[in-house]
Structure 1
Amino acid sequence: MDKSAKLTEILIAICALILIGGALSLARSVFAPVAFALFIIGIVWPFQKRLQSSLPTAMAVAISVVGTAAVILAFGSLIAWAFSRVVRSVISDATRLQGIYAQTADWLETHGIVLAGLWAEHFNIPWLLRLLPELTSRFNSTATFLFVVLIYVILGLLEVDDVARKLAAGDARAFGHLLLAGSARTAAKLRRFMLVRTLMSLMTGALVWAFVAAMGLDLALEWGVIAFVLNYIPVIGPLIATIFPTLFAMAQFASWQIALIVFVCLNLIQFLVGSYLEPRVSGNALSMSPFIVLFAVFFWTFLWGIAGAFIGVPIVIAILTICEQHPSSRWVADLLGAPGDRTDETRAPLGRNRT
C-alpha cells in the first residue's frame, strides 16, 4: 500500500470518528441510557443468572431490577443528603461568610484583583432566580434518564440468553464468538472495576471523614460521604472533593494556613488511595494510560455531561477489551491499556471465553 492510500485511510478514519462523536453528542438522550443500561446489565447479569437457575425468568428479572433500583436510590439519596446539608450550612452562616468575602475582596483589591464587580455581575438575585428553575429541570431530566435506563435494563436482562444463542448460531459465527468472548471479558472487567472503585471510595470517604473530624471542621460526615460519592468519577471527582472542604475550612477558621493544611492532607489521601493502593488492588487488568483516563473523563463529560463523567472510563475499558479480541485491533489495547507484556490469558485464541 502506497503512502497516499494509507494517508487516505487515516483521514477517512479520523472523519468517521468525528462523525461518530457528533452523533453521540446530538443523540445523547438515546445513546447515554443504552450505555448505562449495558453497563448495569454487565454487572448484574451473574446475579441474575444464579437467580434464573432456581426461579422463573420474570421473577429473577424483577428481583434484579428492584435491587438495582434500590442501589441507585440509596446512592442518589446519599448525594442529596450530603450536598443539601452543606448548602443549608452555607445559607445559615451567610452573614459571616459575606464578611469573610468582603475582607478577602478588600485584600485582593490592594493587590490589583477586583472581585466585587465579578460577584455583582454573576452572583446576584436574577442569577439565583434563573438557577432554581435550572436545578429543577436538571432533577427532572435525571429522574427521566434513570427511568429510561431501568426500562432498558429490564428488556436487556430478559434477552441476554436469546442474544447469546443467536450470536453463537448465526451465519457470522466467527464474529459472534468474538463478540461473545469480548462481551464476557468486558463484563468481568467492569464488575472488577466497580468492586475496586467501591472499596477505594469507601476507604477514601472514611479517611476524609477521620481527618476532617480530627481537624475540627464542621460537617465531617458529610465531607466523607461527598468524597466517597465523587471518587467514582476519576480525576474530576477527587479534585472537587478536595476543593470544597478546603474552601469551607478557610471560611470556618478564617485562616489560610489551616486551609492549606486541609488541602495538602486531603490531596495526600487522594494520592495514597488513588495512585498507590488502587493500582495494586486492581492490577494490570484494569490499568490504562493516565492520559487516556483523563481524556476519557473529559471527552465523555463533554458529550454526555455528568452521565458521561461516571461512565467514561468503563466505556474505554469496554473498547480496549473488545480490541484485544482480534489481531488487527489488538495494537490499540497494547498501546492504550496495561503497561508491560500481556499475559498468556490475554493472548488466548479468539472465540474462547476467558473470564
Structure 2
Amino acid sequence: MRALLSLVTGVVVICALYFGRAVLIPIILAVLLSFLVAPFVDLLRRLKLGQVPSVILAVLVALSVLTAVGALIGAQVAQLASDLPRYQVAVERKIDAVQEKTVGRADAFLGKAATALKRISPNRQEEIRKSQENQTASPIDAPMPVEVHEPSPSPVELAQRFLSPIISPLETTGIVLVVAIFILLQREDLRDRLIRLFGSRDLHRATTAMDEAARRLSRYFLAQLGINMGVGIVISIGLAIIGVPGALLFGVLTGLLRFVPYVGTWIAALLAVIFATAVGPGWSMMIWTIVLFGVTDIVAGQIVEPMLYGHSTGLSPFAVIVAAVFWSWIWGPIGLVLSTPLTLCLVILGRHVDRLEFLDVLFGDRPALTPAENFYQRLLANDPDEALVQAESLLKERSLSAYYDEVALEGLRIAHQDVLRGVVTADQLKRINESAMDIIEGLEEVEDVVMAARPDEEPPASLEMSDREAGIFHEAPPAHFDAASEGHTSSVLCIAGRGVLDDLAATIAVQLFRKHGLGADLAPYERFSRTRFDEVDLTGVSLICVISFDAAESPPYLRNLLRRLHQRAGAADLIVGLVVPDSALEGEAVIRKTSAATSFKELVEACVAAARLQTTNGVSWEGLNPEEPVPVADSGKAPAVVPVLRGA
C-alpha cells in the first residue's frame, strides 16, 4: 500500500506540473530570479539603503539587463538581415559547390542507373510511353483550378495578429517581476511559513534543508552567470577576430544557451559554424570557429567551473541528462533551461527527507555506497583491481592505518555479519579471501605516513558525503609510531582467531606492525588449539596479539585461548583485537590484565607502547651470556625460537 500510494502521488504531481505549467512556470522563474538577485539585495541592505529600495533597485537592474540583452539580440538580427544581400554571392557559391559534390554525383549515378534499366527492359519503357499517350487522349475531365479569397482583415485583427506574440512574453515577464519583488520583500516570512508547513516537527532539519538549498542555488546561479558571461565575451572577441559577421550576437546566444546543460554551447556553435561556412570565402573560417568553440568549452568546463563551484553542481551526469529530458517534456524550452536548478532542489530535498531519499540516491553525485560497502562489494565480485584504485584514491588523504580501519575493517565486519547469517557461500568466501589478500599485497609498498589534516576546509559539492561517511574524511589521522627508530625493537606474535575472516585481519595487523618497526609473525589458531597447545614453545615471547572478529561476541574458544596464553606466557603483554566497544569481552575476569584494541590504529599504538615500556624497564635474558651481543628478533623466524626483549 505504501508503494502504491507513492506511485499515485508521483503520477498526480507529474500531471499537476504538466497541466499547471501556465501558472507554475512564472512562479518558478520568479523564485529562481529571487535566488539570483538576493546577494545583490543583501549588498544594498548592508549599504543602509533600506529593504524596499534595495529590492526595487535590484529588480530594476535585473530588468534593465534583460531588456538590454533583448535589444542587443534584436539589433544584431536586424543588422544581419540587412547585410544578407552582401553575402548572397558567397552563399550561392557554397551551395553550388555542395550541390556539385553531392547532387551532381547523385544525378550522375541515377543517370547511369536509368541507362542500365533501359538496357535491361526496353519493352517496359515502350509500355510506359503508350500508357501515357492513352491517358492524354482519354476524355476524362481534368481538375479545375480553384482560388480561395479571404476577406481583408480588420484593424483589430491586424493588431491582434502582430501584438499577440509580443504580449504573451511581456505578460509572463511582468508576473515574474511582481512575484520576485514580493518574494524578496518577504523572504524571512515565507521561510518561516514553509518551515511551519513542512518542518515544524523537526526545525533543525527543515532549517538546514532550506539554508542549503538557498546557499547552493545562489552559488550555482552566480557562478554559472559569471562563467557564461565570460564565455560569451570570449566567443564574441574570437569570432570578431576570425571575421564572422554577427560576432556579438553569437556571443550573447552562447552565454544564454550555456544554461542548457551539456548541449547548450554546441547548439550555439552549430549556428555559428553554419553561418561561418555560408558567408566565408573558403573553409578556414568554419575550421577556426570550431576550434574556438571547442577550446573555450574545454577550458570553461574542465578548469574554470571546478575552480568556482567544485567538479559538479551536486548532480550526477546521468541525472542532468534525465532531468533535461523530463523537464523539457513537461515545460518545453523553459523546462530545459530550468532542469538543473529544479533537479538540484529535489536532490537537496531528498537529502533531508527520509521518504524522498531515493532522489538523492538516483540523481545526487555522492557515492551510493560508502567506501567500506564498496570494498566489500568488490570482494564479492572478485575485483581487487578496482578496490586498489579506490584505496589509492583514499590514501591521498588518509594514512594506511586509517584506510585499513575505516574501509577494510568495516568492510570485513559487514562480511563477517553475512557469514554469521549464513548467506555467504563457500565459493564467495573463497573469492573474498583471495581478493582481500591481493589488496593487502598490493599495499605492501605503501608507507603508513601521517597525512595533513584539513578540518576547516569545506569539501566541494562533488565530495559532500553523508553523516556516516563524514568521519572517514574529517577525523584527524592517527599518529605515526616507529619503534625501530626509537630503539624499541620487539617481536609480536599475531594469533588469528578461528573465524573464516580472522586470517585476513591478522595479516593486515602483521603488515602494519612491520611498517612501524616491529618484528611480527602470524600463526593460525590451529597451532594454539586445546589439543596442540602443549606443543607450542612460548619462551622469549614478550608481545602476543590475538586478533579475531569473534572478540565482540566473546565465544568460549576465545576465552579459553586467552586463559591458556596467560598460564603459559604470563610475563608477556597480551593484546586482544578487534574488540567492539562495550562488548562482553572487555569485562572478562580472565583478561583483566589484557589490553583491548578496537581498531588497527589502537593495536599498533598498544604494541609500540608495550615495546617502549619493556625497553624502559630493562631486560633480562634467560639462558644467554650477558657478554654476548643482544640478538634482535627477525620477522622471518618463528618467535618461539628467537629471543626477544622481555619485561624485567
Report the TM-score when normalising by structure 2: 0.44
Aligned residue for 1:36? 29
Distance 1:157 1:209, change over 3 A: closer
Greater CA drift, 180-189 or 145-154:
180-189
Note if 1:271 corresponds to 2:298.
Answer: yes
Is the CA contact 1:200–1:278 (under 8 Å) kept in the aligned structure 2? Answer: yes
CA distance in 2 between counterparts of 1:37 and 1:217 reads 36
- Provide closer, same or farther for how the CA distance between residues 46 and 181 of structure 1 changes in structure 2, counting only shifts above 3 A: farther
Equivalent residue for 1:97?
A: 91
Instruction: Tell me, in whole angstroms, the C-alpha distance in 2 between the residues paired with 1:234 and 1:170.
Output: 33
What code does the residue aligned with 1:67 have? V
- Residue correspondence of structure 1 range 1-355 to structure 2 within 5 A: 9=3, 13-14=6-7, 16-49=9-42, 51=44, 54=48, 56-90=50-84, 93-94=87-88, 96-112=90-106, 137-167=164-194, 173-174=200-201, 177-256=204-283, 258-284=285-311, 286-340=313-367, 347=466
Per-residue Cα deviation, 1:190-245 (whole angstroms, up to 9, x for no partner): 21112221222233223323432343333333333332232222233211211112
Q: Counterpart of 2:190 in structure 1: which amino acid?
A: V
Q: Which has the larger radius of gyration?
A: 2
**CA 1:46–1:269 in structure 2 vs 1: closer, same or farther (change >3 Å)?**
closer
* Residues 293, 172 of structure 1: alpha-carbon distance in 2 compared, 3 angstrom cutoff: closer
| Aligned residue pairs, count | 323
Matched with 2:592 is none
Q: Matched residues in 2 for 1:91 and 1:184: separation?
A: 55
Q: If each structure's helix is expressed as a fraction of its own residues, which one has the higher value? A: 1
Pick closer, same or farther for the CA change 1:315–1:138 going to 2, 3 Å: farther
CA deviation vs aligned residue, 1:31-50 (integer Å, no higher than 9, x gap)? 00011111112233344356
Residues 331 and 24 of structure 1, relative CA distance in 2, 3 Å threshold: closer
CA 1:275 to 1:25, structure 2 compared with 1: closer, same or farther past 3 Å?
Answer: farther
Q: Which is worse superposed, 151-160 or 332-341?
A: 332-341
Contact 1:189–1:285 at 8 Å: present in 2 too? Answer: no
> SS at 2:352's partner residue?
coil
3-state SS in 1 of match to 2:186: helix
Supply the distance in 2 between the matched residues of 1:170 and 1:339 (Cα, whole angstroms).
Answer: 29
3-state DSSP of counterpart to 2:261: coil
Return the offset for 1:189.
1.1
Give the Cα separation in 1 of the matches to 2:341 and 2:8: 24
Change (3 A) 1:195 1:87: farther
Q: Distance in 1 between matches of 2:190 and 2:237?
A: 48
- Which structure carries more relative contact order (alpha carbon 8 Å, separation 6+)? 1
Bigger drift between 78-87 and 31-40 goes to: 78-87
Equivalent residue letter for 1:217: V
Post-superposition CA distance 1:295-331 (Å, at most 9, x none): 3233323322332232221111111112112344345
* Deviation per residue, 1:86-105 (Å, 9 max, x gap): 44443653454245334423
Residues of 2 paired with 1:236 and 1:85: CA distance?
A: 27
Deviates more, 1:64-73 or 1:172-181: 172-181
Letter of the aligned partner of 1:320 in structure 2? V
Deviation at 1:110, TM superposition (A): 2.9
TM-superposition CA deviations, 1:51-73 (whole Å, max 9, x none): 55745543333223223322322
| 164-173 or 238-247: bigger deviation | 164-173
Q: Tell me if the contact between 1:279 and 1:287 (Cα under 8 Å) persists in the aligned partners.
A: no
Aligned-residue RMSD, C-alpha: 3.4
* Structure 2 Cα separation of the partners of residues 136 and 94 of structure 1: 32
Kept in 2, the 8 Å contact 1:206–1:224? The answer is yes
Whether the 8 Å contact between 2:41 and 2:54 is mirrored in structure 1 is: yes
CA distance in 2, matches of 1:67, 1:91: 38
- TM-score w.r.t. length of structure 1: 0.76
Cα separation, partners in 2 of 1:260 and 1:15, compared to 1, 3 Å: farther
Using a 3 Å threshold, how does the CA distance of structure 1 residues 106 and 242 change in structure 2: closer, same or farther? same
Distance 2:252 2:198 in 1: 51
C-alpha contact (below 8 Å) 2:51/2:185 kept by paired residues: yes
Q: Which moved more, 1:175-184 or 1:336-345?
A: 336-345
> Quick one: distance in 2 between partners of 1:81 and 1:314?
31
Cα separation, 1, equivalents of 2:40 and 2:29 = 18
Asked if 1 retains the 8 angstrom alpha-carbon contact of 2:315 and 2:365, the reply is yes
Give the SS at the match of 1:255: coil
Indicate the residue corresponding to 2:571 in structure 1: none
Cα pair 1:209 1:223 within 8 Å, conserved: yes
Give 1:149 deviation, angstroms.
0.5
- Cα distance between partner residues in 1 of 2:350 and 2:162: 40
Whole-Å separation in 2 of the counterparts to 1:202 and 1:50: 21
Q: Is the Cα contact below 8 Å between 2:90 and 2:280 reproduced in 1?
A: no
Asked if structure 2 preserves the Cα contact closer than 8 Å seen for 1:82 and 1:226, the reply is no
**Which segments of 5 or more consecutive residues in structure 1 lack a partner in the other structure?**
114-132, 350-355
Rounded to whole Å, the distance in 1 between the matches of 2:86 and 2:241 is: 23
Partner of 2:148: none
Moved more, 30-39 or 251-260: 251-260
Q: Distance in 2 between matches of 1:170 and 1:190?
A: 22
Q: How far 1:333 moved relative to its partner?
A: 2.0
Identical columns (%): 21
